[in-house]
Amino acid sequence: RQALEQMKIMDVAKGKAGFGGINKKDMGAHKFWATQPVPQLDEGPPVDDGYIEPSVPRDQVRQEAYPLPNDFEWSTLDINDPKQNKEVYDLLSLNYVEDDEASFRFQYSSEFLQWALKPPGYYKEWHVGVRVSSNQKLVAFISGVPITIRVRNKVFAAAEINYLCIHKKLRSKRLAPVLIKEVTRQVHLQGIFQAIYTAGVVIPTPISTCRYNHRPLNVPKLLEVGFTFVPRNSTAARMIRMNKVPDKPTLKVRPIEERDIVAVADLFARYMRRFDMVPVMSIEDVKHQFLSGEGTGKIGDGGPGKRVGQVTWTYVVEDPETNKVTDFFSFYCLPSTIINNVKYGTLEAGYLYYYATEVAFQPDADENGQLKARLQTLIGDALVIANQAKLDVFNALTLMDNVSFLQDHKFGVGDGFLNFYLYNWRTAKLAGVTSEGGVP
């Protein structure tokens, strides 16, 4: 039932799919988006993939910040400074994305923000804030981080835009377009003219739409906080029994270490060839994405199954004979505030991130079911690790190869969708899901 959106995953599974939910009339009324280099409605599929508006030399990029309404000023946020990091945390934890019924609101931790906003080569100028001039209170934010992406057969540098947030008291004043224009200017100043972003809302024009699926782990709590309900033909006891997860993983999985990075980078790159829109990661990127978020100390120091400040969990499988990494999976933890609940403060949610397996490269692995079987086992083990870390629910989108294991692993179809967008890049739609949630 949860309708929260999520931002980090951006591989979209290949295949054919329909697109639901885009209403022509609504799409006509986008005063801001109509002025931007994004595919507009009624354009039809492009003949070739490529930019919409050409890049320009740095001296032709607007040099002054966009004007803000009186009483507000721009502020670059230094995420390394604990005080400023806390300011972003406070803004987001009170004003960021909520589900449709305002029951849950994302609560990104400070450690999460450190991990998400500081990948290799990040620019602090892309962490754009707006403050009230009189008291310096942070009231709006938008961020970008550098990323290299491949869309179909073209690879290009882009900004990944995220954490657009305006204080609840300042909504519907057309401030969002100013934030978007200012971060665009900052990205242009670094010689980058494309961007990728995701949102729960539909604006011109999604290149793909994925659906959230949720695997309950802590059923009693999920029932108590109203995240999920007992279906008419079931009971709470039955739901608990049905969703029980084994105590131990099936494969010999272990947490990723520094020595695995090169092998994981190689496996990741080869596996990603299966998909039409993927990040291209350097060794440094892989280290950042899969190792740097693991927190400090030993597993258990930060609570059951957790290091202190742990944000990401990446586990590898090693071939005992060759010592080669044959598989890996990763997920991250993003809690949500449970609004108006006296007993529980947060819902601890895991989000499936990237995974890969050598099995995919065996002849006919896709056709003869070997790949499906291996992913089934691998993701089963991810659920075991997530359960050991005392997460309440494990979420996954209908992208990559996820659809092959979601049902068998008892994920329930959620009511949240995530739309994927490219800025200043034309490409035909990528596979997504229908409004029914299935991939045709």
Residue 16 or 169 with smaller CB distance to ligand MYA: 169
Are the beta carbons of 229 and 208 closer than 8 angstroms?
no
CB of 206 to ligand MYA, least distance (A): 11
Binding positions for ligand MYA, 319-378, rule CB under 6 A: none
Minimum separation from the CB atom of position 197 to ligand MYA (A): 4
Q: What is the DSSP letter of 39?
A: P
| Contact status, residue 4 vs residue 416, Cβ threshold 8 Å | yes
Separation CA 38–CA 197 (nearest Å): 12
For residue 439, the minimal CB distance to ligand MYA (Å) is: 24
Q: Which stretch binds ligand MYA (CB under 6 A): 72-80, 146-154, 157-165, 208-216?
A: 157-165
Which range, of 69-77, 130-138, 186-194, 211-219, touches ligand MYA by CB under 6 A?
Answer: 186-194
Per-residue binder mask for ligand MYA (CB under 6 A), 23-62, x = binder? -------xxxx-----------------------------
Residues in Cβ contact with 26 at an 8 Å cutoff, skipping those fewer than 6 apart: 202
204 vs 432, beta carbon nearer ligand MYA: 204
- Considering only 19, 72, 96, 156, the residue that binds ligand MYA (CB under 6 A) is 96
Shortest Cβ 164–ligand MYA spacing (Å)? 3
- The nearest distance, CB 133 to ligand MYA, in angstroms, is 19
Task: DSSP letter for 50, please.
Answer: B
Is residue 175 at the binding interface for ligand MYA, with CB under 6 A as the rule?
yes
Positions in 390-429 near ligand MYA (CB under 6 A)? 423-424
In the bound state with ligand MYA, the residue whose beta carbon lies nearer, of 95 and 310, is: 95
Question: How many residues are there in the chain?
Answer: 440
Whose Cβ is closer to ligand MYA: residue 100's or residue 301's? 100
Q: Measuring CA to CA, which residue among 130, 31, 39 is closest to residue 419?
A: 39
Closest CA to 165 of 140, 143, 190: 140
Min separation Cβ 2 and ligand MYA, Å: 15
Q: Which two tokens stand for residue 340?
A: 């108006």
What six digits make up the tokens of 317?
A: 């499988």
Containing 145, the helix (H) or strand (E) segment is strand 138-151
Q: Tell me, residue by residue from 109 to 148, as one string, x for binding to ligand MYA by CB under 6 A and - for no binding.
A: ----------------------------------------
Site residue total, ligand MYA (CB under 6 A): 34
Residue 353 or 423: which CB sits closer to ligand MYA?
423
* Window contacting ligand MYA (CB under 6 A); options: 39-47, 62-70, 173-181, 249-257: 173-181
Local structure of 158: helix, strand or coil: strand
Q: Is the peptide bond before 76 cis (omega within 30 degrees of 0)?
A: no
- The angle at the Cα of 194, spanning 188 to 199, to the nearest 5 degrees, equals 115
- Enter the tokens of residue 432: 């997504």
- Burial class for 63, CB neighbours closer than 10 Å (0-12, 13-18, 19+): exposed
Among 77, 166, 352, 356, binds ligand MYA (CB under 6 A): 166
The residue behind tokens 């496996």 is 267
Which residues partner with 415 through β-bridges?
none
8 A C-beta contact, residue 26 and residue 236:
no
Considering only residues 188-217, where is the footprint of ligand MYA by CB under 6 A?
A: 193-195, 197, 199, 201, 203
CA–CA gap between residue 290 and residue 367 (Å, rounded):
30
Closer of 202 and 256 to ligand MYA (Cβ): 202
232 Cβ contact partners less than 8 Å away, ≥ 6 residues apart: none
Options 161, 225, 338, 360; binder of ligand MYA; rule CB under 6 A = 161
- Asked if residue 217 lies in contact with residue 387, where contact means CB atoms within 8 angstroms, the answer is yes
The stretch near ligand MYA (CB under 6 A) out of 12-20, 67-75, 168-176, 264-272 is 168-176
Q: If binding is defined by CB under 6 A, does position 83 make contact with ligand MYA?
A: no
Residues near ligand MYA, by CB under 6 A: 30-33, 95-97, 159, 161-166, 171-177, 180, 183-184, 187, 193-195, 197, 199, 201, 203, 423-424
